[in-house]
Amino acid sequence: MFNKSRLTVARQRSGLTMKELASKAGIEPRTITGYEAGEYLPSEDVAKRLSRILGFPLAFFMSDDVDIPRAEGVSFRSMSKMTARQRDGAIAAGAIAFMLSDWLDAEFDLPVSVVPDMREDTPQSAAAGLRDYWGLGNRPIKNMVHLLELKGVRVFSLGEDGKEVDAFSVWRGQRPYVFLNSQKSAERSRFDAAHELGHLVLHKHAAPNGLEAEKQANEFAAAFLMPEAPLRAVGRISGLPKVVELKRAWAVSVAAMTYRLHELGLASKWTYQQLFMEISRRGWRTDEPMPMRREQSQVWKKVLDDLRQNGGGVERLAATLSVPESEIVKLLFGLVTVAVPSNPDASITPRRGNLRLVK
């Protein structure tokens, strides 16, 4: 039977309003509204037409309800920059990520979530407490994506056009999810990952939106990535070369390190202003000095390697889920190198895999 929730997801992933879809399909807007409300079902001919327009296989619309993230439970970093169309498209991408996550759980043994609820803590104490809980000490975090995956967070990419759709996170039952904008620098993407981790630990039982929630997540990210004690051991900073050295050691943007040093009182207001003027003059607000390599997923590398060894790949995975291959690629873009299988007719061996994530 044609599934209304799947029609909504496919339409929003295609960036169409109900009126626009109705126009393309040659039917009344009220008819699309009725389909998505579950008031009535499209004919076989109309269903095929909708499938063709939206670019989703007909089989996608003929399965069980798809779990769609609740808008009020999603933390978007830049709500003011996004249009409603962009927001809905990103949330619909979350629904496909949930399908992909369910497939992962069915096929592989992966870590359960050990992300605690720290809503009673301040952002700074939560950052220090989580480092202690996870046994990280005060060392630089080598790879945020690997760390999140090791702790049971599902990490996906946002392959949307433009930077207006920023990173976001969401809880789904006991499983946390983080979505990262693949168009940002590696340093800024790391900060986004830490920012979303802040939302996950600080705002699990509250709507994680609003200026105060964003401020708290930013404070958490700065304290988590750049802990206070080792920076204080460095002493006061007066010049940009030392800032660049520290930014490279802690794998953050030069702007984030400058702000953190000022926040800790290690750079005076005058020094802070002069540093930012020089950072802007050199173009380092967008292009990092000595840029780091983008962090990739350990989980998805191992999963795709396993699928390829058994005659599958992204194309077969898309066929298994009845979604366009492009949707899988967007969710994994930048996190792993994706390629179509050499033998597209081969089937995926139905067995559970045991992936081991290492620190």
Give pLDDT, residue 283.
94
Q: Nearest 5°: phi and psi at 146?
A: -60, -40
> pLDDT class for 345, splitting at 50, 70, 90?
very low
Higher pLDDT, 334 or 349: 334
Q: Which residues make Cβ contacts (< 8 Å) with residue 169, sequence separation at least 6?
A: 74, 75, 176, 177, 178, 179, 196, 197, 199, 200, 208
**pLDDT-derived band at 348, boundaries 50, 70, 90:** very low
Of the pLDDT bands very low, low, confident and very high (cuts 50, 70, 90), residue 161 is low
Residue 26 has pLDDT above 60, yes or no: yes
Q: What pLDDT is recorded for position 47?
A: 97
| Gap between the Cα atoms of 119 and 250, Å rounded | 26
What confidence score (pLDDT) does residue 165 get? 74
- In 3D space, the residue among 276, 350, 266 whose CA is nearest the CA of residue 307 turns out to be 350
pLDDT at 343 over 50: no
The 8-class DSSP code of residue 49 comes to H
Q: Where are the alpha helices (DSSP H) in the chain?
A: 4-13, 18-25, 29-37, 44-54, 84-107, 123-133, 144-150, 186-202, 211-225, 228-234, 240-250, 254-263, 269-281, 298-309, 314-321, 325-332
If DSSP codes are grouped into helix, strand and coil, which group holds residue 53? helix
pLDDT digits (tens, 9 = 90+) for 44-103: 999 999 999 999 999 999 999 999 998 878 887 666 677 888 889 999 999 999 999 999
Q: Model pTM?
A: 0.90
Supply the DSSP string of 80-142, one letter for each residue: GG--HHHHHHHHHHHHHHHHHHHHHHHHEE-PPP-----TTS-HHHHHHHHHHHTT-TTSPPS
Report the pLDDT averaged over residues 166-191.
92
Mean pLDDT score across all residues of the chain? 90
Residue 299: what are its φ and ψ, rounded to 5°? -60, -50
350 confidence band (pLDDT: 50, 70, 90): very low
Instruction: State residue 318's pLDDT score.
Output: 95
Most confident of 142-156, 293-307, 329-343: 142-156
